[in-house]
Structure 1
Amino acid sequence: MPRIPGVARKDVGLLIRAGYWLAKRRLGAVPEPFSVLARHRKLFMAAARHEMAAEKACAKLPKNVLELAVYRVARQVGCSWCVDFGTMLMKHGGLDIDRLKDIDDYLTSPTYTRQERLAVAYADAMSAMPPAVTDEQVAELREEFGDEGVLELTYQIGLENMRARMYSALDIRDQGFSSGEACRLPEAEITATRGGARACPD
């Protein structure tokens, strides 16, 4: 279980219940971060508005570039929920998820394009502690993607760092989105095996 348990649909107000319904309709299940954040109504609403606005605002970067950079952050930070969800987004977006097994060798693997290598390297540099971004790196990104593209990339990498670190701190783990076996939250009680994925009880 997460360190702060999620809230069941029957226990939330109308606005959050509508958010649950929309999420379940779009994704097939209520993401566990939603049900956990539902314990703080104002923060839940602020986060939902922000996520929708950020998604709509980012339209300059190629989808494969953006999704790979965000996925890389999730891997680097160690957020299994984010890795699971990000893999699902790439799969449903028609992107090749088989090559994710080569993500650690992105600089040399022929399965990654130059643009993708630049974005993943930037994700690594931004996610390092302390950040290791250089002037030369940003200049190369600006030449490749333009200022708006670099701002989108920077914003989304920063946003994923926030998500991944928050979900890791709350022990929110993978939910089965990438396998198509996501639990129907929050109606089902989620059980966890230490170090493994969550599973829905029968």
Structure 2
Amino acid sequence: MDTRFNMFDNEIAVKFFKRFANAGMVIQQSPLPKSTQELVSLRASQINGCGWCIDMHTKEAAAAGETSVRLNLVAAWRESTVFTEAEQAALALAEEGTRLADAHQGVSDETWAQVRKHYDDDQIAALISLVALINAANRLAVIVHQKGVLTSPACSPRSTTDSPTEAGPAQDHPIPGRARACPSVGASPRYGSPWPTPSGWRTRRRRPRSASLVRPISCSCRAGSDCLSRSLWT
């Protein structure tokens, strides 16, 4: 299956992704546990059949220390014993919030009561925003047939201990907080943008004027001119 439309080569789409990434950073910096963010993003992506997002969030979660057992059981969380009650409440909200067309009442009162029980107002606001954002990301990718599997020999994500000299010239990455994968496979916006930030991207401020809004990500991708994401901040 070939990608039917290159969203990263369109000025309107690129402008949208930049603002989409800003929204994602709000969630990423919220008090909602990062592990819960990844579980919710993964479950919604599974329901929507977004290969790109499933691949990304599985790798993101694993890089953050999530176990393979829990990742393998996300789709069957109700039948497992490896998730906390709080995580189960978040996963239930993710499922019901994603499958709105399948239930006349949307999110059930029972699920909402569990969410209120385990999360404070700020966490709930972030959780609702995340469900909305990941569903939008899934649709962006699925509609254009964005290919999954974020791997490429041309890409070598920089670890947080690498220096610019060792990794090569730093390039601004358009999406704060996204996957540990090669942007050349399809630029990746993180935690909100169609594609949430890899642990391997180094954050730094661009200018005082925009620092409060966005913290661009630097990448050490060696894909050269083939890296589509490098054009998004130029």
TM-score under structure 2 length normalisation: 0.59
For 1:83 and 1:185, the matched residues in 2 are separated by: 18
Q: CA deviation at 1:183?
A: 5.3
Q: CA deviation at 1:39?
A: 2.7
Amino acid at match of 2:22: M
Q: Is the 8 A contact 1:84 1:177 kept in 2?
A: no
Q: Could you say which residue in structure 2 is the equivalent of 1:89?
A: 60
For 1:121 and 1:159, the matched residues in 2 are separated by: 16
Q: CA deviation at 1:184?
A: 6.1
Q: CA deviation at 1:139?
A: 2.8
Q: CA deviation at 1:125?
A: 0.4
Q: Could you say which residue in structure 2 is the equivalent of 1:135?
A: 109
Q: CA deviation at 1:57?
A: 4.3
Matches within 5 A, 1:26-41: 36-41=6-11
Secondary structure in 1 matching 2:62: helix
Q: Is the 8 A contact 2:96 2:107 kept in 1?
A: yes
1:157 aligns with 2:131: yes
Offset from partner CA, 1:161-197 (integer Å, 9 cap, x none) = 111122111111213349x9955616698xxxxxxxx
For 1:106 and 1:87, the matched residues in 2 are separated by: 15
Q: Is the 8 A contact 2:27 2:129 kept in 1?
A: no
CA RMSD in angstroms, aligned pairs only:
2.6
1:106 aligns with 2:77: yes
Tell which deviates more after alignment, 124-133 or 162-171: 124-133
For 2:119 and 2:151, the matched residues in 1 are separated by: 30
How many residues align? The count is: 157
Q: Is the 8 A contact 2:27 2:130 kept in 1?
A: no
For 1:60 and 1:155, the matched residues in 2 are separated by: 13
Unaligned ranges ≥5, structure 2: 157-180, 186-222, 227-234
Offset from partner CA, 1:14-46 (integer Å, 9 cap, x none) = xxxxxxxxxxxxxxxxxxxxxx32332133123
Q: Is the 8 A contact 1:175 1:183 kept in 2?
A: no
Q: CA deviation at 1:53?
A: 3.9
Q: Is the 8 A contact 2:43 2:91 kept in 1?
A: yes
Q: Could you say which residue in structure 1 is the equivalent of 2:22?
A: 52
Secondary structure in 1 matching 2:70: helix
Q: Could you say which residue in structure 1 is the equivalent of 2:150?
A: 176
Q: Is the 8 A contact 2:38 2:57 kept in 1?
A: yes
Amino acid at match of 1:141: V
TM-score under structure 1 length normalisation: 0.68
Q: Is the 8 A contact 2:100 2:107 kept in 1?
A: no
Q: Could you say which residue in structure 1 is the equivalent of 2:232?
A: none
Give the helix-richer structure, 1 or 2. 1
